[in-house]
A and B are shown apart, each in its own frame.
Chain A
Amino acid sequence: MENFFGFALPGVPYGCTYAIVAVGLVLTYQATGVFNFAFGGQAYAAAFVFTLLTQNEGWSGFPAFLVSVVVMSPLIGLAFDRFLFRKVGNSNTTAKLVISLSLLVGIPSLLPVIFGAQNLDDTATIFPFFNPNVVYFTVLQVPINGIYLSTITVTVVVLVALTALLRFTNLGLQMRGAVESRRLVQLDGVNSGRVVALAWAISSFMAGLAGVLLAPTFGNFQSDTYATLMVAAIAAAAWGLLRSIPIATAVGVLIGVVSTILKGYLPTSSIFFSAVLPSLPFFVLVAALLFLPGMRSLDMNRDPLATIDPPPPPTAAASRAPSMDRMIRRAWWVFFAVFVVSMLTWMPKTWEGVFNSGLALSTVLLSITLITGMAGQLSLFQGTLAGVGAFTSAQLANHLGLNMLVGGLIGALLAAAVAVVVALLSLRLRGLGLALMTLAAALLFDNTFFNDASITGGVSGLSLKEKWLGTSAFFNFNGHALFLLSLAVLAGCVLLVLQVRKGTVGRNLAAMRGSETAAAGLGINLTWQRIVVFALAGGIAGLGGVLVTIGAQVANSAQWSYSFSLIFIVLVVTTGVATVEGAIQAGIGFFVTSQLLTYLPGRFGGGSLVIVLFAFGAVQYAKHPEGVLEFQKRQGNMRFERLLFPKEYYALHPTEIAPGTNG
């Protein structure tokens, strides 16, 4: 029994930190209506600054805590509210999710850009409250040191304070009202803007607190560690239905304790230890999504005054005048011809590689256009599906000697099958629920299949061999074979997506996006539509993964980790998720921008700045849900139309005629 407690107690600090983050998620969701994925990023930022101040600047713990947690963190939250979330309609679940995801992706990448690369050792972190190296007392022969004391005390204080805030204070009541409808609380005389801003400040403070508490308990200082923390916390919050603080706390602590107990009892060599144990939080999350009916109706639009928001504008391509449309189409064909000829003749090898990678990535991103742009659902595991395609084809070539181009098709089919399985598991989930389910799937793959050296070749990955492709053409950039292959696959996928959009499935999807209830009322089989879309998108992602792998000449699991799935979403959303050209511009733009950034001085040249750039592009989603490029395109179109084809322009925009004329 002493052994049992010896295993269980060390889990408590972990569990408490999970609980604090879980409660922070619940609070943000209850008080602002945003499921804040960026919470992990905020925690990381606070821990980063805290460690930076204490180690490199020689500050003592308490002032560093004041600066990083008490001052900086709430300010970050206020900035989020002021510049981002305030502009998003309460009912726009996708926009809120995408913005918080892009913050999660952007913040950890931004820090090295701001502060330069820092060598931080968090094991030496000075703890703000109790000294971590002092054993204060022992319980059941387990020494209780400052880490235990700090996390447990802070957790208890925070929980009591927040429960009291939400349940018993007027402010808490106003927060809960404001989540449902910011307009309706205004009619009761509540300054909803101020209430929501306060909620953001409080929850960001908690993020900072969790980050600093956590810094010494984890081995090394990586933003990925914070992502693991997030999954455990999300799982705990989900069991509390994003509503109950006590349940979220209890589940959070349990996850921490159970994993350390299992760690103690399971034999270290078994598959359970290496694969299942790290995945424990995902299983807890998936179980919540599968078995809690409350998770299915999470973000039903409850705002009775949502009709005040104007409907979204049509896409640039759909709303331009016919003459303008013809002109732009011709211009694109000319541009395309010039591009293909250039690629085949004078393009330098570096840039040919850049564009090839761009075309391959575009194919992966096209799958997001299909799922998010057309079906209106957020899928966070498209990168994983691409990885399934990539590893399948590579392994088939490795073991069976199958040509990767043929194996690629099998890989795509397998990716489609995986997508269908996930779709079947999440049939009744929408919006946030589906996003979480796909995120859990991505993380599960990262921890199991992608973590298995016999599948993915370990850290260095599987290097492609010439014979896997049956020809040396793809290894020789002068042959242009890879370019033509990527172009052909992309073109095929584009045609497929366009065909789907034009056809019955596309119209059914548009109906579902508008109103699932109404679509079901028309006799549309929602389940079937969804499975079809997931399968198609999975297959396209798988093909894209194979292309990327052939271009990179290596299949590496780091390339397909969940964080890349998130980055992919952010990329597409930045340019415009509703159109096919949005995906292509995102894919090519990503590599072109990365290449251009390599010409900049060192600090900006790394891979992180390009992610930051796109993340901040995606943040623009708040203002322009159709995508920044898409928005610019429409503005440009309108300007040119007014100049070139004024007659058609004013026929299309009757509202621009001088005011006062009555319809």
Chain B
Amino acid sequence: MTSPVLADPAPPDEGGDVLVLQSVCAAYGPYRALFDVSFTVPKGGIVALVGSNGAGKTTVARTVTGLVTASVGTVLFCGRDVTRLPAYKIARLGMAHVVEGRGVFSSLTVEENLTLAFRQRAGRRLLAGNLERAYTAFPILGERRRQFAGTLSGGQQRLLSLAKVLVVPPQVLVADELSLGLAPVVVDAVYDGLREINRNGTALIVVEQQVSRVLELANKAVVLDRGSVAYQGDPAGAGEAVESLMARREAATASAVGHGDDIDDLTS
């Protein structure tokens, strides 16, 4: 399948990394969320981004797709510096982001939601075909195509935001807390969908709280703790890293009950 993305799909240097984060720091106003985060996403790879609440997973995802601009450091996408680019330009280069929680336009109909995405990503000519494919893959969306997206159930809204990116596969897909609020059966389907577009060449960054599940899927893991990378490498070792972090955190909490860490809780 040829890449339907509008932007020039020129491949990065052979076998290189499709996405590189170099010493990235990020903040929300005066509140810093990321400290010196560096990791790479290999071409066609699947990176699992795990960590506890407030570890900075969502902020990493947002920094990668340009929703949050890094205050320090660089983000390279296909070898190109995209650190200061606005989100829409990064999206046009072939980045897709399924945001945490509800990520649809509730005052647009299901079909309008899909149209908006497909026309930008694949152009007007392929629109009808893409809509058809979306409805085939997710029949429930076809049934409700004239309904306002805001009236869909939470799970259906997740499916809608997935349909926007799965039908027209991007170069890199950032998926934030995909399984949240979905029935186990649907989660299986979603993970199958992710595997499938990965086979077609899309690199994935999967943010997940269900650690075991995502580590099965991934071929690389990054563990975040309080805005910094605590571990990166083989997914097999990540579970252990997470557990030791949790143990340390528990010990710290036990020794200083009531002493909250203010940076931790602001970014989730």
Interface of A toward B, CB cutoff 8 Å: 170, 173-174, 176-177, 179-181, 183-193, 302, 304-305, 308-311, 313, 653, 655, 659-660, 662-663
Q: A189-B92, A190-B88 are in contact. Are A180 and B107 (CB under 8 A)?
A: yes
Query: Is the contact region of chain B dominated by helix, strand, or loop, or is it mixed?
Result: mixed
Known contacts A177-B108, A192-B88; 12 additional CB pairs below 8 A are A176-B107, A177-B116, A181-B105, A185-B88, A188-B91, A188-B116, A188-B121, A191-B86, A304-B103, A655-B27, A662-B35, A662-B228
Q: Mark B27-65, 1 if CB is under 8 A from A, else 0.
A: 111111001100000000000000000000000001001
Q: Which residues B215-260 have CB closer than 8 A to chain A?
A: 226-228
Assuming the contacts A170-B119, A173-B115, A192-B88, asked whether A186 and B66 have C-beta atoms less than 8 A apart, the reply is yes
User: For residue B164, which residues in chain A have a CB less than 8 angstroms away from its CB?
Assistant: 188
Instruction: Say whether A659 contacts B25, CB under 8 Å.
Output: yes
Chain A residue, CB-CB nearest to B94 = A189
Residue B102 interfacial (CB < 8 Å): yes
Q: Check if B120 is an interface residue, CB within 8 A of chain A.
A: yes
CB distance from A159 to the nearest CB of B (A): 21
- List 26 interface pairs A-B (beta carbons < 8 Å), by A numbering: A170-B119, A173-B119, A176-B107, A180-B105, A180-B107, A184-B105, A186-B66, A186-B88, A187-B96, A187-B97, A187-B99, A187-B103, A188-B88, A188-B117, A188-B121, A191-B86, A191-B88, A305-B67, A313-B30, A653-B30, A655-B27, A655-B31, A662-B226, A662-B228, A663-B35, A663-B227
Query: Which of A189, A302, A304, A660 is close to B121, meaning CB atoms less than 8 Å apart?
Result: A189
Q: Could you tell me if B28 and A308 are in contact, using CB atoms closer than 8 angstroms? A: yes
Q: Name the residue of chain B whose CB is nearest to the CB of A192.
A: B88
Q: Do A186 and B87 touch across chains, with their CB atoms under 8 A apart?
A: yes
* Complex partner residue of B32 from A179, A186, A192, A655, CB under 8 angstroms: A655
Q: Is B261 an interface residue (CB 8 A)?
A: yes
- The interface residues of chain B lying within 8 Å CB-to-CB of A302 are 106-107, 150
The yes or no answer to B101 lying at the interface (CB within 8 A) is yes
Chain A residues with CB under 8 Å of B36's CB are: 660
**Residue of B with least CB distance to A180:** B105
Min Cβ gap B141→A in Å is 16
Interface size counted on chain B using CB atoms at 8 A: 47
List residues 198-229 of chain B with CB under 8 A from any CB of chain A: 226-228
- Asked if B182 CB lies within 8 Å of chain A CBs, one says no
B264: Cβ under 8 A from any A Cβ: yes
Say whether B72 faces chain A, with CB atoms less than 8 Å apart.
yes
Instruction: List chain A residues, Cβ under 8 A from B28.
Output: 308-310
Is B116 a contact partner of A173 (Cβ separation < 8 A)?
yes
Chain B residues with CB below 8 A from A191, complex form: 86, 88
> Is the CB–CB distance between A663 and B67 below 8 Å?
no
Residues of B within 8 A of A655 (CB): 27, 30-32
CB neighbours (8 Å) of A183 from chain B are 67, 87
Contacts of B264 in A (CB 8 A): 663
Residue contact B99 to A304, C-beta cutoff 8 Å: yes
Give the CA-CA distance A173 to B114 in the complex, in Å: 11
B67 touching A189 by the CB < 8 A rule?
no
- B190 at interface, CB cutoff 8 A: no
Closest A residue to B103 by beta carbon equals: A304
The answer to whether A659 and B67 touch (CB under 8 A), given A187-B91, A304-B103, is no
Pairwise interchain contact A308-B68, C-beta atoms closer than 8 A: yes
Give the Cβ gap from B92 to chain A, nearest Cβ, in Å. Answer: 5
Q: Are B227 and A185 in contact (CB under 8 A)?
A: no
- In the complex, which residues of chain A have a beta carbon less than 8 angstroms from the beta carbon of B67? 183, 186-187, 305, 308
Residues of B within 8 A of A188 (CB): 88, 91, 116-117, 120-121, 164
Indicate with 1 or 0, residue by residue over B97-131, a CB within 8 angstroms of chain A CB atoms.
Answer: 10101110111100010011101110010000000
Decide if B263 is an interface residue (CB 8 Å cutoff): yes
What distance in Å separates the Cβ of A189 from its nearest Cβ neighbour in chain B? Answer: 4
Which of A179, A180, A187, A192 has most B Cβ within 10 Å? Answer: A187
Q: Determine the chain A residues whose CB is within 8 A of the CB of B65 once the complex forms.
A: 187
Q: Which of B30, B115, B228 is most buried by chain A, counting CB atoms within 10 A of its CB?
A: B30
B106 → chain A closest CB, angstroms: 6
The interface residues of chain B lying within 8 Å CB-to-CB of A187 are 65, 67, 87-88, 91, 96-97, 99, 103
Whether the Cβ atoms of A663 and B86 lie closer than 8 Å is: no
Q: Are A663 and B91 in contact, with the CB atoms below 8 A?
A: no
When chains A and B are docked, how far (Å) is the Cα of A662 from the Cα of B107? 42
Partner of B86 from the list A176, A184, A186 (CB cut-off 8 Å) is A186
On chain A, the residues within 8 Å of B120 by CB distance are 188-190
Shortest A181–chain B CB gap in Å is 7
Residues of A within 8 A of B27 (CB): 655
In the complex, chain B residues whose CB is within 8 Å of the CB of A185 = 88, 105, 116
Closest CB in chain B relative to A643 CB, distance in Å: 20
Q: Mark B3-37, 1 if CB is under 8 A from A, else 0.
A: 00010000000000000000001011111100110
Question: Are A311 and B29 touching (Cβ within 8 A)?
Answer: yes
Contacts of B92 in A (CB 8 A): 189
A187 to B99, CA, bound (A): 9
Q: Which of B72, B87, B88, B105 contacts A176 (CB 8 A)?
A: B105
How far, in angstroms, from A61 to B65 measured CA to CA in the complex? 51
B96 to chain A, nearest CB (A): 7
Cβ-closest chain B residue relative to A179: B107
Pick the contact of A663: B105, B108, B121, B263 (CB < 8 A). Answer: B263
**How far is A302 from B149 in the complex, measured between Cα atoms in Å?**
12
Given contacts A180-B106, A308-B68, contact A174 B88 (CB under 8 A): no
Q: Would you call B91 and A186 a contact (CB within 8 A)? A: yes
A308 to chain B: which residues have CB within 8 Å?
28, 62, 67-68
Q: A173-B108, A176-B107, A176-B108 are in contact. Are A189 and B91 (CB under 8 A)?
A: yes
Chain B residue at smallest Cβ distance from A173: B116
Distance in angstroms between the alpha carbons of A193 and B88 in the assembled complex:
10
B267, closest chain A residue (CB): A307
User: Which of B25, B27, B72, B99 has the most A CB atoms < 10 Å from its CB?
Assistant: B99
A655 nearest CB neighbor, chain B only: B30
In Å, the complex CA distance between A302 and B103 comes to 10
User: A423–B227 Cα gap in the complex (Å)?
Assistant: 46
CA distance A187 to B261 in the complex (A): 32
> How far apart are the CA atoms of A311 and B150 in the complex, in Å?
26
Residues of B contacting A173 in the complex (Cβ-Cβ under 8 angstroms): 108, 112, 115-116, 119
Chain B residues with Cβ under 8 A from A177's Cβ? 105, 108, 116
Most buried by A among B6, B62, B88, B101: B88
User: CB distance A310 to B29 under 8 Å?
Assistant: yes
Which residues from B are CB-within-8-Å of A181? 105
In the bound assembly, the distance between CA atoms of A653 and B263 in angstroms comes to 12
In contact, A174 and B116 (Cβ under 8 angstroms): yes
Q: Give the chain A neighbours of B86 by CB distance below 8 A.
A: 186, 191, 193
A residues less than 8 Å from B72 (CB atoms): 659
A158 to B32, CA, bound (A): 48
